[in-house]
Chain A
């Protein structure tokens, strides 16, 4: 006996066992119908699950594709900056992202096929369940034990085979979906770890190095530009001063002005000395000091420490001498 026949017998055996469990054949019909409806619900949920899973994979594939494109751009940019090492790193990562993408694409195709099959299976089951319901009502209406039994068996075998088939289809779809989700989860983890640098990821060291390089070159360019401006404007000042002697009186007055302003400049330089005042001996102790000391301080505001220094310096000298 071949495979086909044996599989068919296994299905029939299962159906017969289920039938035997029921005492009243009409009970079998109702019970079976309940199970069919449950299975239909399960199939529809299965289709929705597969679709959700497929969409997630789709999203992830898009991300990986973007990442691969971005790494390609980075490699090109790095090469144009003469950084072969960085370009090589970017291309290595790109190939890693690409291989993940290829595997995902294969699984995606499988999942899509599974979804289509399950959708068709669900429609088929729906049609069979409807047919069964009609048949069930007819059998119940014309019920005479002996006659009904065979018709019930027929209807039940027919539907239970379909249910077995659809049940297996759901199982397969669930397994594939679980595999897919496991892979998607693994890729998520890879992306989070930075090994496959997510798009706009926080740990994109290649991008940051490229950015740094281009920032540096921007700085250099700006520096060169400023230098250029300076060297260009310096001769102009010389030209201006050179022109003054040849010019009229206003030019000469203009030159006097800075000299005059040296007077005002001198007081302006005084303020920097003011901050030194707090460094002078603290004021609170002053009242405790003797009048003489205060007078001495007032006499030589800045001189006090200086006056002390020779004495202080003298002590060690004395020490050395003794």
Chain B
């Protein structure tokens, strides 16, 4: 499974870790919905750490879309909310 961390590039993560990543992602989503900035930051940090630990950077000349895309490390909750909307942060 290919995971992108915005601003860092793509990582190849073994599918075996999918469940674990999904759990962390659920935490992140809950924090965003509750508007809990501290919980959000903590969940994002854990999620990114996990991808860094288990993923291997994908060579830059591979043209593959990512299954999962993660906000960059110092994203604010407001930025992530915008990312989730179609009109949001993504240019184009």
Chain A interfacial positions (CB closer than 8 Å to B) = 2-8, 10-15, 18, 117, 120-121, 123-124, 126-128, 130-132, 135, 154-155, 157-161, 163-165, 167-169, 171-172
A113 to B26, CA, bound (A): 29
Number of A-B contacts (CB under 8 A): 113
In the complex, whether B67 has a CB less than 8 A from a CB of chain A is yes
Determine whether the beta carbon of A164 is less than 8 Å from that of B63: no
Main secondary structure of the interface of B (DSSP, over half): loop
Q: Select B63's contact among A120, A123, A132, A165, beta carbons within 8 Å.
A: A132
Further 7 A-B residue pairs, CB within 8 A, beyond A135-B63, A169-B6: A4-B47, A7-B83, A15-B65, A121-B7, A128-B63, A158-B64, A168-B91
Least CB distance from B39 to A in Å reads 13
A157 to B83, CA, bound (A): 17
B-chain residues with CB within 8 Å of residue A127 when the two chains form the complex:
59-61
With A3-B80, A124-B9 known as contacts, the answer to whether A161 contacts B62 (CB < 8 A) is: no
Determine whether the beta carbon of B6 is less than 8 Å from that of A159: no
Determine whether the beta carbon of A8 is less than 8 Å from that of B7: no
Determine whether the beta carbon of A131 is less than 8 Å from that of B29: no
With A121-B7, A167-B92, A168-B7 known as contacts, the answer to whether A7 contacts B69 (CB < 8 A) is: yes
Determine whether the beta carbon of B90 is less than 8 Å from that of A168: yes
A11 to B86, CA, bound (A): 8
B-chain residues with CB within 8 Å of residue A158 when the two chains form the complex:
62-65
A5 to B4, CA, bound (A): 11
20 A/B residue pairs, CB under 8 Å, sorted by A: A2-B68, A3-B28, A3-B70, A4-B47, A7-B70, A8-B68, A8-B69, A10-B85, A10-B90, A11-B69, A14-B86, A121-B7, A124-B9, A126-B60, A128-B63, A158-B62, A160-B92, A161-B65, A161-B66, A164-B91
A244 to B33, CA, bound (A): 112
Least CB distance from A70 to B in Å reads 36
A154 to B64, CA, bound (A): 7
Determine whether the beta carbon of B61 is less than 8 Å from that of A2: no
